Structure 1
Amino acid sequence: MKAANKRWTEEDATFVKNNLGKLSFEQMGRALNRSAMSVRLFALRNRLTVGLQVKRNILMEMLKIKFRHPEDFTPTRTFYTETGINQRRFWDLYYGRKNISSKEYAAVAEYLGVTLQEALDSRQLDLFEENEE
C-alpha cells in the first residue's frame, strides 16, 4: 500500500509538468510512487493542460474579481442557461483552452453581478505588469 497524503516535492511537480501529455497518469504514478488518481488530481489542481492555451484567460480574471478563490465557483444549470454557455465550452474557457467571445463575456459578467467598469478593468492590458514578467 502506498503512503497516504504524501507531499508533492518540487521535483515531482517538475516531472509531472515535463511529462504531461507524453506519459499516461498511470506511468507517471508508477515513476513517482503515487496513484494515477493522485497525479490526475495534481494536474487539475494546478490547472496543467496539454496543448495550446490562450495568452490571457479573461474568464479567470473576472472570476478572481468576484471570488477570492476562483476554483470555489461551481457553475449551475441556471448559470449555463442564462449565459448560453454549455458545460464543455465553460471548462474549455476556464482552463484557458479557448478564448471567450465578447457575448459570452458580457453574459458571464451580468450573471456574476460584475459591473461594466470592473469587467472592462479586468480586460485592460496592464503594460507594466507584462513588462515585469
Structure 2
Amino acid sequence: MKLVKYNQLEPNYPTTFSNMLDRFFNDSIGQNVKQFTPAVDISEDENHYEIHVSVPGMKKSDFNLEVIDGRLTISGERKMEEKTEGRNFHSLETHYGSFKRSFYLPENVKEDGIAASYEDGLLKVNLPKEEKKVNKSKIEVK
C-alpha cells in the first residue's frame, strides 16, 4: 500500500479554466496569504517510510503532528518577524502563515513507533513498518 496525499484545504489542480484564472490573479495580487503548502518528499525502504517536510525558519515547537484513524496530520505556522520598522521590502517570496498536510498511512505502519525530528529546515517523520506476520499452520491429512 502506498502513502496517499490527503489535503482537504486545497485541491492540487484547479478544476476549470475559470478557477485557474481566479487562483492565478488572487495569488499574484499580493494579498496577505495566511496559508502555504510546504514541499514534501516521501521515501520507503524495507524497514520504514520517511516523510521530509521542507519548512525553513521554524522552531520545533511550531509543529503539531497527530495520527487519527490511520491518517497522519502535520501542521504548523511560520510567523513573520515583527520587527519591520525602518525596512522597505522590495521582494518578499517567503511564505508565511499556517499549513496543514495529511497523509493516509499504510496498514503496516507501527503507529506507536512514529518519531519526528527537525534540523536545518527539514522536518523528518520516521514511520516504522511492522514486521510481517507469517501465518503458518500444518494441516493434518485424515
TM-score of the aligned structures, taking structure 1 as reference length = 0.27
Give the structure with the higher percent helix.
Answer: 1
The structure whose residues are more often strand, as a share, is: 2
Q: Which has the higher contact order (CA 8 A, sep 6+)?
A: 2
TM-score (norm: length of structure 2): 0.26
Structure ID, larger Rg? 2
